[in-house]
Amino acid sequence: MTWFQHEARFISRPEVEALCERLLDEARERLGIAELRRVLLLPPDLTRAHSGAGWITERLYQLLDAAGAEVHVIPTLGQHVPHTPEENRWMFGSIPQERIHAHDWKNGVTNVGTVPAEVVREATGGVVDWEIPIDLNTMLVTEPWDLVINVGHVVPHEVLGFANHNKNYFIGLGGKRLLGASHMASAVYGIENNLGNLLTPVRACFNYAEEHFLADLPDVYLQVVMDYDDSGHLAHTGVYVGDDLETYYAAARASLAQNITPFDEPVHKVVAVMQADEFRATWVANKAVYRTRMAIADGGELVVIAPGVERFGEQPEVDALIRRYGYLSQAEVIDLYRTQADMQDIPHGTAHLVHGSSEGRFTITYAPGHLSREEIESVGYGYLDIDEALARYDPAVMTDGWNTMPDGEEVYYISTPSAGLWATRDKLERRARHERQR
């Protein structure tokens, strides 16, 4: 059930930290545990550092440690690159390095069950008919915990409609088979049918898995929603705490209202900045593509300024896959997937080839800090020199929303694409009709 929630135009850091303390008090009371001896914290990784999840996790650790609990932290990496000790300190502050564990998506998982193919088929309206093996982090499912606390930012998402809630388990702590089956199901169903939907097919499958395989886990979700304040900075507007689906829905409805920017007409040029300290591969920097694609006009352009990008995939084999095939349309990928063994071996990487494609509708131009023109153009993107991009679209000068450049060019600028979704009203309405008819 939903334990409590707090919504306001903006919520200060001290207020959020006080709600962390309230969570622990309510956990003891609701679970009937006088003393929390062993607690697991599951925050997102550094690609969501802007959400404050790092200092929220640090505050929970401090409160629990002061009460004598043994506390462990597993950043919900999925198949992202594990944090370095320096990155852990940057995100989680004073939490001891030995208490922060890297998720191993290949060798560190245990199977707890399978979502049957018939459940997947029903959830996807018959589009997908394979089962989803639920392989989860071994430390999560085999060690004893008095409490598991999921920390995260609810925001529109390309696979699950909205991020966080049980995504922390089934993507963030999932194994290779789980990541592959779920991401490929999402890609086949269609990215624009997922973005900003409260209940996507993959989310429905994860809800099934949580109910059937994790029902005995003593867990709670601490979810935040954010919006831009008057100075253009992201600030918390909601904190939602509970152990049920309604807690997710409450946060997702708030994000739906606050984090989707609708346009009456398609936008011809979008410029998006992906911060260097969070985004180092196109795998994660392509949130700029996912979150703006429904707003961009046919024949338009998306410019992604990504000074930290140095590779394509988060893992070597995914990087190699992207370099081999490039970003392709859904139809091209599905056709190749039938015969190409390397695509079949890492289907979550194959799905990314679809998610990062414009389907030929608009141009994607990348300004990476550490990839060459030849590398960028080889995967199907246009190239822009990073210094030239930063000089023309200086983040210190540009403002979120419409900007008129000195030569008269009109561009729509987005400083944090991962914090929202931009779409035409027509596409949002068509997608809503599709869901009603499904």
* The 3-state secondary structure of the chain, one letter per residue: CEEEEEEEEEECHHHHHHHHHHHHHHHHHHHCCCCCCEEEEECCCHHHHHHCHHHHHHHHHHHHHHCCCEEEECCCCCCCCCCCHHHHHHHHCCCCHHHECCCCCCCCEEEEEEECHHHHHHHCCCCCCCCEEEEEEHHHHHCCCCEEEEEEECCEECCCEECCCCHHHHCCCECHHHHHHHHHHHHHHCHHHHCCCCCCHHHHHHHHHHHHHCCCCCEEEEEEEEEECCCCCEEEEEEEEECCHHHHHHHHHHHHHHCEEEECCCEEEEEEECCCCCCCEHHHHCHHHHHHCCCEEEEEEEEEEECCCCECCCCHHHHHHHHHHCCCCHHHHHHHHCCCHHHHHCHHHHHHHHHCCCCCCCEEEEEECCCCHHHHHHCCCEECCHHHHHHHCCCCCCCCEEEECCCCCEEEEECCHHHCEEEEHHHHHHHHHHHHHC
- The pLDDT, as a whole number, for residue 437 is 57
Residue closest to 311 by CA, chosen among 330, 286, 288: 286
122-127: long-range pairs with CB below 8 Å, 24+: 123/201, 123/202, 123/204, 123/205, 123/208, 124/185, 124/188, 124/189, 124/201, 125/201, 125/438, 127/188, 127/189, 127/201
Name the CA radius of gyration of the chain, rounded.
21
CA distance 84 to 344: 30
- The pLDDT, as a whole number, for residue 29 is 94
* Contact of 325 with 162, CB cutoff 8 Å: no
* Contact of 294 with 423, CB cutoff 8 Å: yes
- The pLDDT, as a whole number, for residue 438 is 57
- The pLDDT, as a whole number, for residue 391 is 97
Cα 266 to the center of its chain, rounded Å: 25
Tokens for 47?
């690609």
- The pLDDT, as a whole number, for residue 232 is 82
Burial of 265 (0-12, 13-18, 19+ CB in 10 A): exposed
CA distance 385 to 400: 22
Walk along the chain (438 residues) in steps of 10 and give the mean pLDDT of each run.
94 98 96 92 90 97 97 94 93 97 96 98 94 98 97 93 95 96 92 91 97 96 94 93 96 96 97 94 95 97 98 94 97 94 94 95 98 98 98 96 96 94 92 61
* Contact of 282 with 305, CB cutoff 8 Å: no
Residue 43 CB: number of other CB atoms within 10 A? 31
- The pLDDT, as a whole number, for residue 401 is 96
